[in-house]
Amino acid sequence: LEPYNTAWSNWTSNTTVTYQNLAPGEYTFKVKAKNSEGEEDPLPATRSFAVKHGVPPTVEIKKPGGSMYISNRWISIPISFVVGDVDIKVEATDESGVEKVDFYVDGKLKHRDYYSPYIYSIWHDFSLLPKKHVIHVVAYDTVGLTASDEVTVWRIL
């Protein structure tokens, strides 16, 4: 079982091997056959599989949230209010690694980031009336588990 154990077992008519508590990751199981004359199959049969961990990533929108941002500058208030453009900053972690973070605004995918720090600079529309937006982020770990966070902001200009 590669990469856990790369040694071949002894030749027998049947072999049973049990592995327990394998770490999360990709594994390949290989089997060689040998006939009664001792001739080996030059191409071992293989079967690959993944062991997934059961812990999803963590994700949190660090900015904007519970504050006012005027041209990307922070002022503490109890709601999220944005004047001008603002960076969405996200913190995502996972024991197997974070594959990507998707950024949604009002249900539409706007940006996909594969590298920390996870940041998306938004808005280039212009409106004098305050408009409510929902920012939603989804973090994906390397084994396919996800976590999400969401914040509602009011924006002008």
- Span 3-59, pLDDT tens digits: 656 666 676 777 777 888 877 788 888 887 777 787 888 888 888 888 877 889 999
Residues 138 and 102 in one domain: yes
For 124, the domain range is 58-156
pTM of this prediction?
0.68
Task: Pick the more confident residue, 119 or 77.
Answer: 119
pLDDT of residue 115: 97
Q: Do 122 and 86 contact (CB within 8 A), yes or no?
A: yes
Q: How buried is residue 99: exposed, middle or buried, by Cβ count under 10 Å (0-12/13-18/19+)?
A: middle
Residues 106 and 29 in one domain: no
Residues 8 and 28 in one domain: yes
Average pLDDT over residues 93-100: 93
* Distance from C-alpha of 90 to C-alpha of 100, rounded to nearest angstrom: 11
Average pLDDT over residues 118-125: 82
Residues 13 and 87 in one domain: no
pLDDT of residue 140: 98
